[in-house]
Structure 1
Amino acid sequence: MAADGASRDTAGTDAPDAPAEAPRISRWDDACLAAALFAVDPAGSGGISLRALPGPVRELWLELLQELLPADEPVRRVPLHIADGRLLGGLDLAATLRAGRPVAERGLLAEADGGVVLLAMAERVARSTAAHLSAALDSGEVLVERDGITARTPTRFGVVALDEGANDEEQVPTTLVDRFAILLDLGDIALREAMPADYDVGEILAARGRLDAIAVDDQALEAICGTALALGVDSLRASLAALRVARASAALAGRDAVTVEDVSAAARLVLAPRATQLPAPPDQPPPDEEPPPPPEENQDDNQDENQPPDQEIDKPLEEVVLEAAEAAIPANLLAMLQMGAMRSRSRSSGKSGAIQSGSLRGRPAGTRRGEPGAGARLSVIETLRAAAPWQRLRRQERTQTARNGGPAADLLVEVRHDDFRVTRYRQRSETTTIFVVDASGSAALHRLAEAKGAVELLLADCYVRRDRVAMIAFRGPGAELLLPPTRSLVRAKRGLAGLPGGGGTPLAAGIDAAVELADGVQRRGGTPVVVLLTDGRANVTREGIGGRAQAGEDALSSARAFRVAELKALVVDVSPRPRPDAEKLAREMGAVYLPLPHADAAALSGAVKAVS
């Protein structure tokens, strides 16, 4: 049976004298196993987050999943900008206008009862859509309260979220990921590795019949919870999801109870991708501990013949499962954990810019009550939808008016002023990263070289991220704009080729220039992010004259003005040894403080991406 791949790989070792290392299951084999386990229990697993760009590998996986699902099981695709009425159900506009009374229609989630929902471009899904899906997964029903209709429709389904994010900032909303059992990343799997799987729909149907009778002992539960704790997975949903996946694995393998292979598979698919820390190393025995005595000469040499050659049976179950999970941690996640760089990222803004709402341009994002004009566009369908529930009352009002001698009007649909709905649009503004570099003193050339390298690294992603980069250098009597906002790599290199350095430190002038440039970016609809590289020690006032005390006061005054402007900023302390000056400046600016005395271009570029 294909679900026993882990156990098959452990067989055949010729080293009975030493424990064999845990075999590393290929990522494609795990992806196929994930498809089979999801097909066994779609609603119980909640869903799969499939991170992969469109391509043959993703299509092969989706074809496998389609083959494993029973033919009569509904599969519904949720488009990116689906309306709430189509998703949840609501007013059937055509039937309501014909009948003259509210007529309800079934939503897409109700149609998917007992099947699978395919969520396209899940990393860009609207917040309301994610909330509706999460609520339906939790409650097993769809609640509709809109357009004069109140209804509850039972529905249970699993979700396959297609994550096409090009970078770490574009991810499926946490509210959905927390309810999915399995997280897959097919990004690094080559087409030659995507071999046909050994599963078929007959195995899936048989496993579904066994699923409810699968037994789970306390040792397996402790192994799951202990592995989650060791990997820093603090969500109880993840442990429950791992338990459901382990039971599905046992059912697929034809077993009556969960075994170590099933728990290890659940750890690889559910817990490893969610790891936020590396497991602690095992405790070492005390140095004065005596070694175990050698075996006696008359000991039966055949005593160990019944033991498996890999000797894994001697290890505690939790240790075996933890090793399997640690081996399955994705390479990029493992590197981040080793560097201690796990950070929470904001969904409201990022390298793609902040989300802006309006009624003029962008992607449709629902409707609002209002009048067309001044660029606002009338949504005819939503206007009729708002007017439809009131047609019977308005027809009665017209009849009563005619009986009282008023004018009679024979209208098929009466639309009033309060029914008007205009379309709302949403767009992402481009991000402009403004480097403000202290170009004073003997170390100026070193700092400018670092900034130059970081600018070039960020510009390499500009076409994908829709960013712009600018640079301000301050030295001597004031600040100078060296590189206006641009996404042209050629222009940036030309502007950065000969950067001046030396002189005093007009820190206040540099901050003021950053505020002025950021204000211009905001006026044009962009999102500015300021990166200030300095040691925080000013010695030139706003007037361009020397005086350390007055220059420090001017710098703090400019920092407070910067904070009032509510700009996002990062202060990089480039002094050889971090001093309180730059930290105090960052606190007054309301910025993130980063002591980086030995920064290189790559480290600075990574810090900018993290803060923005």
Structure 2
Amino acid sequence: MKAKELMHAAPVYPFSAIVGQERAKRAILLYFINPASGGVLLSGSPGAGKSLLLRGAAALLGTRRSISVPANVTADRLLGAWDAAAIVQGRTMTHQPGLLAEADGQLLLTDHLNLLPETIIKEIVRAFSMGVIHLHREGISAVRSSRFMLLAAMDAEEGGIPSPILDHFGYGIALDTAESLTSRVEIIRRQLQYERDPDAFVHRYRAQDEALRQRMEAAARTLPRIKVGASMLQLAASIAKEAGIASSRAELALIEGARAAAAWDERGEVTSSDIREIAECVLPHRMSAVADESRAADHSPAAPDSAEQPGHSPEDDTSRDSRSPDGSPDHAASGSGRMTTTSSPASDPSASRDEDEEGQRLSASEDRIILPDDGFRLQPLDYNLRRKMADGGLGKRGRAHANMNKGRVVGAVTPHRKVQADVAFDATIRAAAPFQTIREKRDGLAFAIEPGDLRQKKKESSVGASLLFVVDASGSMAARKRMAAVKGGILSLLQDAYVKRDRIGMIAFRKGEAEYVLPITRSVDAASKHLRDIPTGGKTPLTAGLVKAYQTLELEKRRNNDTLPMIILVTDGRANESPSGLTSYADVWKECLSAAEPIRASGIPCLVLDTEQGFVKLGRSKELAQALGAAYRKLENMDEEGVATAVRLTKR
């Protein structure tokens, strides 16, 4: 039964049947006409049609075989390996080709490119750019041809790709999400037709696909005759320069893409309209890093108080946050851990007096957005604190050794058990070599290996951290603008998040709730967008933030065993709001300490950055750090880079 199912696998969804995504389809066609314009990288949210476009394009090309790179591909499968049998039997060295060698002269498809290990991505891009593979394995080197066409796809929300790698792709297309009701209905209608009778559906669009293929082949034949005037070269260079792109690959992709566009439209010369059309396909993905730098340079001082802005009433905020438990709706914690209570404690004079004065000053600054500023300096961490961070923190994070089945080979070890895989052939042969003169030669073998000679590859892989910032976004934070330093520190950490394989998320707690404002991600673009729109103001539901952080990282650990979780709590410790409706400051504080217990018991490393200001200091952040078993640091003398430095030291 299974054999029949495999033999009658559903045909590929036709390229011409895909609804919308006209820019992506045109970019793919132009790339097929002129491969010199560079590969195509599609970016879009799940369900946007990335995989459909890749498979449909591969079927449309027809003349080339498509090779797919699986998400769990190993370096040996990608690059190839040496024939172990030939080595042992003393024959000529034989290299077994990997996927990149098999793709020579063919089409390579890579879905979810950004989720592949960094080393794998670099090997793919290197082979694509150079056209050859330089293989170095087991102390032996070889070179294989690897000239292929490349179509790739990624989901930007799952993590970004460094700009040097993006620059190797000629076209970078952000897929559109179907907005109109008509388009959405048509997508559903065609999908149902395809699922009901795939063969009939494919047959219905076969003529359209064939027409595209014939026109594409005709354009490719006329491509050598397409002329590019000097003025068009100058226009391409000026557009790339104006976009702030330093690499010359942009201009080359622009010109080659414009030549393909002219050939497709059956014109003999490139026009300015060709250049400008292709610029929209080859420049945006190269401009992302430039845009990030521009946004960072455009940081302005803190926005004006919301009380001075039209349509804002400070009294509304004050009344909303000062209602007694009896006058508030009875909200409960949702299943996701989102706390929505708005109760307000009303005792503990030692704390309430300072809170009341501060609340009066802050009611007008409710909901304003604060951007990173300067003016704070980080004091060097003392030796005992560093040692505490190392002992209780992540240790040598980023490294995992011989018992792992993935990573780069760093040596060989004698296995404690039977070797199942990853035999280190060079080390095995070296171990057996001294005993060849006294061992009996078996039939047909020039080299005798016994079980005791076997050596296993010792591997090492980078393991990233999941850094969860839990930030007090209440009015007490906004008053001293410490949110500015926090946001700046997170943005600084994001710059090396890809290299370190780290992922960063953020929970903000204010006004009776803890909100997951930044899902854990490696995407610099996604994080920057979320961090620049975080409002501040209101009371401090610290317990809600701790509960949400614990639930989030417990779920993250179940989803991803290879990550190292860490909490960075940024607060002044002045909890004044309870998810369970407590009205005493003392009871609210005890509730916070109780919420810290499961976090400490789980062994999740924590760092508490204390933002408490003012003449009267309660020192509760330090007490909370002790309850969490966390490293502690005052934020009073930190700037945005100081926040990042403290986190980096904790991760070591």
User: What TM-score, normalized by structure 2, do the two folds share?
Assistant: 0.53
Residues 52 and 185 of structure 1 are in contact (CA less than 8 Å); yes or no, is this contact kept in structure 2? yes
Counterpart secondary structure, 2:280: helix
| Gap change, CA 1:223 and 1:362, over 3 Å in 2 | farther
2:143 maps to 1:66: no
The aligned runs of 1:16-31 (5 Å cut-off) are: 28-31=21-24
Residues 50 and 184 of structure 1 are in contact (CA less than 8 Å); yes or no, is this contact kept in structure 2? yes
The partner residue of 1:434 within 453, 458, 470 is: 470
The worse-fitting range, judged by mean Cα deviation, of 493-502 and 223-232 is 493-502
2:199 maps to 1:146: no
| Paired residue type of 2:509 | A
Counterpart secondary structure, 2:516: helix
| Paired residue type of 2:217 | L
Question: In the alignment, what sits opposite 1:540?
Answer: 617
Counterpart secondary structure, 1:118: strand
1:179 deviates by 0.1
Question: In the alignment, what sits opposite 2:147?
Answer: 156
Question: In the alignment, what sits opposite 2:212?
Answer: 200
Question: In the alignment, what sits opposite 1:174?
Answer: 163
2:456 maps to 1:420: yes
2:211 maps to 1:213: no
1:95 deviates by 4.1
Counterpart secondary structure, 1:585: coil
Q: Which runs of 5 or more residues in structure 2 are unaligned?
A: 1-18, 191-204, 295-369, 373-395, 484-506, 528-538, 554-574, 587-592, 647-652
The partner residue of 1:382 within 415, 419, 422 is: 422
Question: In the alignment, what sits opposite 1:524?
Answer: 603
The partner residue of 1:135 within 109, 122, 126 is: 126
**Cα root mean square deviation, aligned:** 5.4
Residues 80 and 98 of structure 2 are in contact (CA less than 8 Å); yes or no, is this contact kept in structure 1? yes
1:48 deviates by 1.4
Counterpart secondary structure, 1:486: helix
CA distance in 2, matches of 1:422, 1:400: 29
| Paired residue type of 2:87 | T
1:93 deviates by 2.5
- CA deviation string 1:319-352 (max 9, x = no partner): xxxxxxxxxxxxxxxxxxxx999xxxxxxxxxxx
Question: In the alignment, what sits opposite 2:400?
Answer: 358
- CA deviation string 1:124-155 (max 9, x = no partner): 11121122122222322111122243222222
| Gap change, CA 1:270 and 1:200, over 3 Å in 2 | same
CA distance in 2, matches of 1:38, 1:259: 18
CA distance in 2, matches of 1:242, 1:501: 66
Residues 68 and 108 of structure 2 are in contact (CA less than 8 Å); yes or no, is this contact kept in structure 1? yes
Question: In the alignment, what sits opposite 1:586?
Answer: 639
- Structure ID, larger Rg: 1
1:37 deviates by 1.1
| Gap change, CA 1:106 and 1:589, over 3 Å in 2 | closer
Identity of aligned residues (%): 21
CA distance in 2, matches of 1:368, 1:36: 43
- CA deviation string 1:160-196 (max 9, x = no partner): 22213435xx123434211001112225135557797
| Paired residue type of 1:586 | D
Residues 37 and 248 of structure 1 are in contact (CA less than 8 Å); yes or no, is this contact kept in structure 2? yes
Larger relative CO (CA 8 A, sep 6+): 1 or 2? 2
Residues 509 and 545 of structure 2 are in contact (CA less than 8 Å); yes or no, is this contact kept in structure 1? no
The partner residue of 2:173 within 184, 200, 216 is: 184
Residues 47 and 158 of structure 1 are in contact (CA less than 8 Å); yes or no, is this contact kept in structure 2? yes
| Paired residue type of 1:585 | M
CA distance in 2, matches of 1:185, 1:438: 36
2:435 maps to 1:398: yes
**Number of matched pairs:** 427
Question: In the alignment, what sits opposite 1:483?
Answer: 546
| Gap change, CA 1:377 and 1:401, over 3 Å in 2 | closer
CA distance in 2, matches of 1:102, 1:379: 23
The structure carrying a bigger helix percent of its residues is 2
2:257 maps to 1:245: yes
CA distance in 2, matches of 1:143, 1:164: 30
CA distance in 2, matches of 1:458, 1:277: 26
- CA deviation string 1:397-455 (max 9, x = no partner): 4343469xxxxx997534666832245566554433233578869979xx9x9832696
Question: In the alignment, what sits opposite 1:86?
Answer: 77
Question: In the alignment, what sits opposite 2:283?
Answer: 271
1:36 deviates by 0.3
CA distance in 2, matches of 1:423, 1:32: 41
1:458 deviates by 0.9
CA distance in 1, matches of 2:116, 2:478: 50
| Gap change, CA 1:269 and 1:104, over 3 Å in 2 | same
1:533 deviates by 5.7
The partner residue of 1:226 within 238, 258, 267 is: 238
Counterpart secondary structure, 2:267: coil
The worse-fitting range, judged by mean Cα deviation, of 357-366 and 215-224 is 357-366
| Gap change, CA 1:383 and 1:363, over 3 Å in 2 | closer
- CA deviation string 1:272-330 (max 9, x = no partner): 4444459x9xxxxxxxxxxxxxxxxxxxxxxxxxxxxxxxxxxxxxxxxxxxxxxxxxx
Residues 47 and 180 of structure 1 are in contact (CA less than 8 Å); yes or no, is this contact kept in structure 2? yes
| Paired residue type of 1:365 | G
The aligned runs of 1:37-116 (5 Å cut-off) are: 37-42=30-35, 44-53=36-45, 55=47, 57-71=49-63, 73-98=64-89, 102-116=93-107
| Paired residue type of 1:385 | F
| Paired residue type of 2:177 | D
| Gap change, CA 1:566 and 1:104, over 3 Å in 2 | farther
1:112 deviates by 1.0
1:107 deviates by 2.3
1:233 deviates by 3.1
| Paired residue type of 2:603 | R
1:104 deviates by 1.4
Residues 90 and 104 of structure 1 are in contact (CA less than 8 Å); yes or no, is this contact kept in structure 2? yes
1:377 deviates by 8.2
Counterpart secondary structure, 2:72: coil
Question: In the alignment, what sits opposite 2:509?
Answer: 451
| Gap change, CA 1:565 and 1:450, over 3 Å in 2 | closer
| Gap change, CA 1:565 and 1:63, over 3 Å in 2 | same
Residues 414 and 455 of structure 2 are in contact (CA less than 8 Å); yes or no, is this contact kept in structure 1? no
Residues 54 and 151 of structure 2 are in contact (CA less than 8 Å); yes or no, is this contact kept in structure 1? no
Counterpart secondary structure, 1:483: helix
| Paired residue type of 2:616 | N
Question: In the alignment, what sits opposite 1:334?
Answer: none
1:122 deviates by 0.8
Residues 377 and 422 of structure 1 are in contact (CA less than 8 Å); yes or no, is this contact kept in structure 2? no
Counterpart secondary structure, 1:451: strand
| Gap change, CA 1:234 and 1:539, over 3 Å in 2 | farther
| Paired residue type of 1:540 | K
Counterpart secondary structure, 1:235: coil
